[in-house]
Amino acid sequence: MNSLDKLFDEMYEHAMEEAFQAVGPVERKHTLKTNLSKLLGDFTYLDENVIQQEPRVIEVKEFDEYTSEYVMLPVTELLEIPMYILTPKTGKTVHPTVLAIHGHGTGVNEAIGLTIDGEPEPEPTIHNQFALKLVKRGLKVFLPEVIGFGTRRLKRDIEASNINSCEAMSKNLLMEGKTLAGLRVWEARKVLDFIETQDDVIKDNIGMMGFSGGSVISTFTAVLDERPQAVVLSCYPNTFKGSIMSIRHCIDNYIPGILHYAELPEWISLIAPRKLFIEAGEQDHIFPVEYTRQAIKEVQDGYKSRSENFDYDIFPGKHQISGRKSIPWLENQLK
């Protein structure tokens, strides 16, 4: 370790020592949530321009076990969210429901086993077609395309064949005192609004599952919005120090000033006492498992009074969806 390494370690420790302290746990939880909204950015401008329109159905496909609808959900005049709605063919009139959030890659299609061009994948990617696994277990799945990926890239990134627009969008938003994570959380909450308007969903027990960058969105959405009652975070729970501060990551992971309040495990713990499952790969090269284990121990402390509502799985794999325990767990929580 050279002097600069030591300097930045000391600065981190100083930030942790100076992090906000509250008199009691209830006050601290409330204050952290309040400040998280500020840290993510103020999107009041978008709220003032929300429109109420039914989604446009682009395509409907019938499969043996489910129906797939591809729709465009208008949110503002300039924002519409492409989304797959997967409905299981169980014969039921209402379904347990999951908001599924994909991570980095070619876009929403990866979660349902398609290439960016809509062709069947030659083999599963790190998303492991997790949305299909959910619907085949009888869960209705709402799978929006995250802004910055797939069809939702900026023109300049599409023309340059850049796989995403995370850098360009983040830089623009940071200059305005906002974050791309904040915009994505804002959109996720608008999708939750839409889910609540559907007659065939169980509205008081909605689930949420996110992978990698989708897990970032799921974490902060579930902290700020109590509608997700059962949450799966795949390949993100860790410490800021052990992951995004130590290893090269996409700029969309960074939220200026967040260490003035808490490290990542405490932010995750704010989901308590609602149900939470964490999964991580033993060989994840960007969220090292040793720090995931550290985070899990801290989250367990946050669930001491409701330990039955927390579980986890460290699986033998890399940075990828496993689902071997997380998906059956989520099914059990919602049915």
Instruction: From residue 92, give the alpha-carbon distance in Å to each of 266, 277, 331.
Output: 39, 27, 15
Question: pLDDT of the chain along its 335 residues, tens only?
Answer: 799 999 999 999 999 888 877 667 888 899 999 999 999 999 999 999 999 899 999 999 999 999 999 999 999 999 999 999 999 999 999 999 999 999 999 999 999 998 888 888 888 899 999 999 999 999 999 999 999 999 999 999 999 999 999 999 999 999 999 999 999 999 999 999 999 999 999 999 999 999 999 999 999 999 999 999 999 999 999 999 999 999 999 999 999 999 999 999 999 999 999 999 999 999 999 999 999 999 999 999 999 989 999 999 999 999 999 999 999 999 999 98
User: Three-class SS string for the chain?
Assistant: CCHHHHHHHHHHHHHHHHCCCCCCHHHHHHHHHHHHHHHHCCCHHHHCCCCCCCCEEEEEEECCCEEEEEEEEECCCCCEEEEEEEEECCCCCCECEEEEECCCCCCHHHHHCECCCCCECCCCCCCCCHHHHHHCCCCEEEEECCCCEHHHCCHHHHHCCCCECHHHHHHHHHHCCCCHHHHHHHHHHHHHHHHHCCCCECCCCEEEEEECHHHHHHHHHHHHCCCEEEEEEECCCCCCCCCCCCCCCCHHHCCCCHHHCCCHHHHHHCCCCCEEEEEEECCCCCCCHHHHHHHHHHHHHHCHHHHHHEEEEEECCCCCCCCCCHHHHHHHHHC
Residue located via tokens 């599924």: 100
At 235, give phi and psi (nearest 5°): 60, 45
What architecture (CATH level 2) is domain 3-276+295-334?
Answer: 3-Layer(aba) Sandwich (3.40)
Closest by Cα among 5, 33, 31 to 241: 5
Q: For the chain, what are the domain ranges?
A: 3-276+295-334
pTM, two decimal places: 0.97
pLDDT for position 70: 97
